Chains A and B, each alone.
Chain A
């Protein structure tokens, strides 16, 4: 079965612009979570969506937002980009997002802010 698909894989933006990243989870998975990965901070949790509702949110400014559609696909948006937003953004899906559920990650979207 198809894995978690993230688009675009690579993108370059300039400061002040905004960006939208997309994530298609594994079929049947209703929980989608997003992480920011940087060399300095490691993996940091952004937010989790389950059945179109944001269920958990990490400690990121309001410039970072997301949503989930009825087909479980999710998007995240970063507005007014800053240099420090350059990172690999990873999306992960799971069946229920609870207990010992395993996360299945996509390959990520690598954002470079100039």
Chain B
């Protein structure tokens, strides 16, 4: 079955540092890939997505490129802020068997210090 593997957290960074959160996946079909973010006390919200190989999703300074050859979708940001502190979830949806229910990774907590 489908699966998503994210790096273990928490990731602790100083403000303005470079961020990478690794995500690799296993899928039967040709999935769409997503990053969701969950701020404290809130539900998840979409950060960015990519629907086919070599697509780059971007939003709020975050980027991730759909790499089919390495089955990866790593999240990056050049300069993090304290307000980026949250839990980040990588997810995929491939429609195999007619189901588009996303498969989520376990989440990676990011803590940014001033």
Contacts and interface: CB of A to CB of B under 8 A. Distances in A.
B46 interface: yes
B contact residues, range: 20 to 34
Given A42-B106, A105-B43, A107-B43, A100 B101 contact: no
A83 interface: no
Given A4-B43, A98-B100, A42 B32 contact: no
B81 to A, nearest CB: 23
Nearest to B106: A42
Contact of B49 (A55, A100, A104, A105): A100
B45 A56 contact: no
A106 interface: yes
From B36, B101, B106, residue with most partner A Cβ within 10 Å: B101
Interface string B44-83: 1110010100000000000000000000000000000000
Contacts of B105: 42
A48 interface: yes
Contact of B107 (A33, A43, A106): A43
B44 A99 contact: no
From B43, B49, B51, residue with most partner A Cβ within 10 Å: B43
B41 A98 contact: no
A97 interface: yes
Nearest to B31: A100
A109 to B, nearest CB: 10
A90 B107 CA distance: 15
Contact of A101 (B36, B100, B104, B106): B100
19 contacts: A42-B105, A43-B104, A45-B101, A45-B102, A90-B44, A92-B43, A98-B95, A98-B100, A100-B49, A100-B51, A100-B93, A103-B36, A103-B46, A103-B102, A105-B43, A105-B44, A105-B45, A107-B41, A107-B42
Closest A-B pairs by Cβ, 9 of them: A105-B43, A100-B32, A42-B106, A43-B104, A105-B44, A98-B100, A100-B51, A102-B46, A107-B43
Interface of B: 32, 34, 36, 41-46, 49, 51, 89, 93, 95, 99-102, 104-107
